[in-house]
Amino acid sequence: MTLWYNRPNLLTLSESARTERPHVGRGRLTVFLGYGEDTGKAAAMLERGARMRAEGLDVAVGYLAPRKTVPDGMPSVPPRRSLVEGQEYFELDLDALLARRPEVVLVQDLAHTNGPGSRHHKRYQDVEELLASGVDVLTTLNVERVESLNDLVARLSGIAVRETVPDRILDMAHHVELVDLSPAELRVRLAEAGNPDGFMALRQMAFRKAAELQPLVAPGPVTERLLVCVGQGWENRRLLAVGRRQTDRLNAEWTVLHVSRGEDLGDTLQRAEELGARVVTLSGTDVVDTILTYARQHQITRILADKSLGPRLASVEAEVDLYLMGSPSRSTPRFRHLGSLLVILAAGVVAYSLPDYSGTGTVVALMVVWLVMTRLAEHVRAQLKAAQRRQMDTAAVGELLQDLAGAARAEDVRALMAEHGRRVCSGAAFGFGLEPLTGDDRAAAEWALANGRPAGRGTATHSGARAHYLPLRNSDVVGLTGRLPSNEERRLLATFAREAGLALERVQMIEDSRQHELLAAKEKLQTALLNMVSHDFKTPLASITGTLRSLRDDGAYLDEAARLDLVDNACGEAERLSTLVANLLDLNRLEGGACAVRAELCDLSELAVAARDALGAPLELKLELGVREWKLDFVLMHQVLVNLLGNALRHAGGPIRVATSLHEGRLRLVVEDGGTSLTELEAIFEPFHRGPSGGSGLGLSICRAIVEMHAGRIWAERCAEGTRLVVEVP
């Protein structure tokens, strides 16, 4: 690796490896890495920002410590001030930066913990959001703040560093600059340092970490697979740190494995995910056998585990390297079996005091057996508890999936999510959507929905919110108030949320498909309407126009009879056109719900006669009224009967039979003609359907709309004499 001086106290590493894998659609992260306070990181960052601004980029200072000075002309977003318990906090104003959207933002101290009331608990989360929005970020970081180096720093300096940054954040860095003191300054700092060896060790650590982050050549294919085993009572944080360091050094894939025996390692597993590991939780009666089985199945080349597993893990195949850490005694609580030991000692004392010493060995042997059986029973209980928990979780997910399969509306999906969620997390209340939310809760819900991660109460983002918010994929958000769920419950609820989100997307796809079908039907209707207008409107208009032209141009040469014939023809076509327009308006009004049914007792004989007279044409009507009165809207049903009789007259021209009867408590009205049978019986009620005799096809569509308004139905059927149209209403 080649290093060169960029300024007296700044070393820059080649960024060739990072440029080969740019973050598409994301901002670029540049980290100024140091190994102590006042080593020039902030000055180097400000100098780089000033150079970028001179090149024409829009650079803003997002946050600097109050004692730092912003260079002249450098735009700055003032830090947000808050006063909590008498202490003033200065925080990065993330919302102001996102609203302004500069090209580059300068942020000091990536590992800083934000004050109360901030959106995120840690500043690196603010930087993540800036990068996700497409803004480039320049930031500073001390090497002792890197999570995977935390245990080494504690051993070197004797100080436990609590504000750390997950290694995955450094993995996102496009460029790293190592800031080093000049030789003269380094000698002064070493002379002033209380622990010069520790100070130099931190410096070497910074060089090594920078080299790992930016190799001179692109990394080759993964050949090593590391398995880190964690468990209750082990030094899990140190195991994870060492595992991450080995991963960086070897360019390896790494997995963190927890063989569960009922304990909750939620915090450890979450830390493993932040460090970039693949997390796997398995169950098994034997921890070592489970580890070895997993290692064989996944071609693991290295195993890192607690020393308590050493004697049995030593039997692992030769091609797997084994690394053990910690003390074997740490895996077992110190006083776990003290009670059993006291019982054995007491039994031995009692047995020894008995006159017959032959029973002493028997009593002691029984106590030993009892102790062994107690330990085995405890182990079996833990395994049984873990198995029951997994079985319950699997059953809960299965029940939710079964119920979601039948959900047809978004409201049903939300109700099912809430119902099953309350079974998992009793005491919690579930709310959906953004509308009723304000303040921190709305901000947390919007962030969870936009970023696909939990936010709000119990998380590091918008922790001041009243509820814990889970995204249902990109479809919705659910808020949990009341009791905060445990880590196990959160994982199960997150699974519920994913499945509910998928169900919401499925419901939305069905709705979109239905809308597409409606649009297709609408387009078909519009096409039919245009065809009808081009024919049924054009024909009468052409006839009327021709008649008027004849009267205008040739009226002097026509006798009275010819003129009357032309006028009669024009009047007939005008009436036909008027009827067509009226039918269109009626159909539009009926389908739009502008009419209401006003039902009253009607004389069906009077209704039939009025409909015949309204036709204004000679018509032989045969009435067979088994039911003479019924509760109907006279005006609307009169229109139905007029259209039905007109249709029969147009197709048959002979006697028309109108009959009424009672069928299962409903009125059945039949209009039957003696002419030729109609074809396509199911289609004749569609708007603009054109039968053999032509016509607009609106009359029967109006009939269907009116009958459906009466909660009835209408259909056509063939009979021996011709066609029968049947209306049935309650």
DSSP 151-174: HHHHHHHS------B-HHHHHTEE
Of 76, 52, 47, 49, which Cα lies nearest the Cα of 64? Answer: 76
CA-CA distance, 613 to 609, in Å (whole number)? 6
**pLDDT (tens digit, 9 = 90+) per residue, 296-313?**
888 888 999 998 887 778
Instruction: For residue 724, give the H/E element and its range.
Output: strand 723-729
SS3 at position 144: helix
Best mean pLDDT range from 221-225, 633-637, 657-661, 701-705: 657-661
**pLDDT (tens digit, 9 = 90+) per residue, 622-670?**
888 899 999 988 878 888 888 888 878 776 656 888 899 998 889 999 9
CA-CA distance, 365 to 361, in Å (whole number)? 6
Q: What is the pLDDT of residue 218?
A: 55
CA-CA distance, 36 to 48, in Å (whole number)? 20
Distances (CA, A) of 228 to 64, 233, 267, 310, 318: 38, 15, 16, 14, 18
Contact 470, 454 (CB under 8 A): yes
pLDDT band at residue 590 under the 50/70/90 scheme: low
pLDDT band at residue 482 under the 50/70/90 scheme: confident
Instruction: For residue 371, give the H/E element and its range.
Output: helix 358-405
SS3 at position 279: strand
CA-CA distance, 179 to 176, in Å (whole number)? 10
Given a cut of 80, whether residue 60 has pLDDT beyond it is: yes
Contact 674, 723 (CB under 8 A): no
Q: What is the pLDDT of residue 185?
A: 87
Contact 59, 103 (CB under 8 A): yes
Q: What is the pLDDT of residue 228?
A: 94
CA-CA distance, 59 to 595, in Å (whole number)? 64
SS3 at position 200: helix
CA-CA distance, 559 to 176, in Å (whole number)? 105
Contact 467, 479 (CB under 8 A): yes
Given a cut of 70, whether residue 448 has pLDDT beyond it is: yes
Sequence-ordered strand ranges (E) for 8-112: 10-13, 29-34, 59-63, 80-84, 87-91, 104-107
Of 723, 641, 615, 716, which Cα lies nearest the Cα of 674? Answer: 723
CA-CA distance, 725 to 672, in Å (whole number)? 6
CA-CA distance, 449 to 455, in Å (whole number)? 9
Given a cut of 60, whether residue 86 has pLDDT beyond it is: no
- Segment 492-505 mean pLDDT: 89
Contact 500, 403 (CB under 8 A): no
Q: Which of 29-33, 84-88, 567-571, 681-685 has the lowest mean pLDDT?
A: 84-88
**pLDDT (tens digit, 9 = 90+) per residue, 378-405?**
767 766 776 777 777 788 888 888 888 8
Cα dihedral sign, 96-100-101-102: negative
SS3 at position 435: coil
List CB contacts of 48: < 8 A, sequence separation 6 or more.
30, 32, 138, 177
CA-CA distance, 322 to 493, in Å (whole number)? 37
Identify the bridge partners of residue 623 per DSSP, sorted by sequence position. Answer: 658
CA 3 to chain centre: 45
**pLDDT (tens digit, 9 = 90+) per residue, 186-214?**
888 888 887 888 888 888 888 888 887 76
Q: What is the pLDDT of residue 16?
A: 37
Better-scored residue on pLDDT, 528 or 20: 528
- Segment 532-549 mean pLDDT: 74
Given a cut of 50, whether residue 20 has pLDDT beyond it is: no
SS3 at position 254: strand
Contact 470, 452 (CB under 8 A): no
Given a cut of 80, whether residue 369 has pLDDT beyond it is: no
**pLDDT (tens digit, 9 = 90+) per residue, 517-537?**
877 766 765 665 566 556 566
- Counting every residue written for the chain, the total comes to 730
Q: Which two tokens stand for residue 674?
A: 């003696």
Contact 446, 434 (CB under 8 A): yes
Q: Which two tokens stand for residue 369?
A: 């057996």
The whole-model pTM stands at 0.59
509: phi then psi, degrees, rounded to nearest 5: -65, -40
CA-CA distance, 141 to 729, in Å (whole number)? 80
Contact 675, 653 (CB under 8 A): yes
Question: How deeply is 691 buried, as exposed, middle or buried, from its count of CB atoms within 10 A (0-12, 13-18, 19+)?
Answer: middle
List CB contacts of 305: < 8 A, sequence separation 6 or more.
228, 229, 239, 291, 313, 322, 323, 324, 325
Of 308, 487, 500, which Cα lies nearest the Cα of 420? Answer: 500
CA-CA distance, 351 to 359, in Å (whole number)? 7
Q: What is the pLDDT of residue 348?
A: 62
Look at strands 621-625 and 656-663 and give their pairing.
Answer: parallel
Given a cut of 60, whether residue 710 has pLDDT beyond it is: yes
Q: Which of 180-184, 314-318, 420-424 has the lowest mean pLDDT?
A: 314-318
Q: What is the pLDDT of residue 603?
A: 92
Given a cut of 80, whether residue 4 has pLDDT beyond it is: no
Q: Which amino acid is at 187?
A: R
Q: What is the pLDDT of residue 164?
A: 92
Look at strands 87-91 and 3-7 and give their pairing.
Answer: unpaired
Q: Which amino acid is at 727?
A: V
List CB contacts of 299: < 8 A, sequence separation 6 or more.
225
- Segment 599-613 mean pLDDT: 89
pLDDT band at residue 23 under the 50/70/90 scheme: very low
CA-CA distance, 349 to 345, in Å (whole number)? 6
What's the chain's average pLDDT? 79
658: phi then psi, degrees, rounded to nearest 5: -120, 120
List CB contacts of 480: < 8 A, sequence separation 6 or more.
421, 425, 428, 429, 430, 467, 468, 469, 470, 493
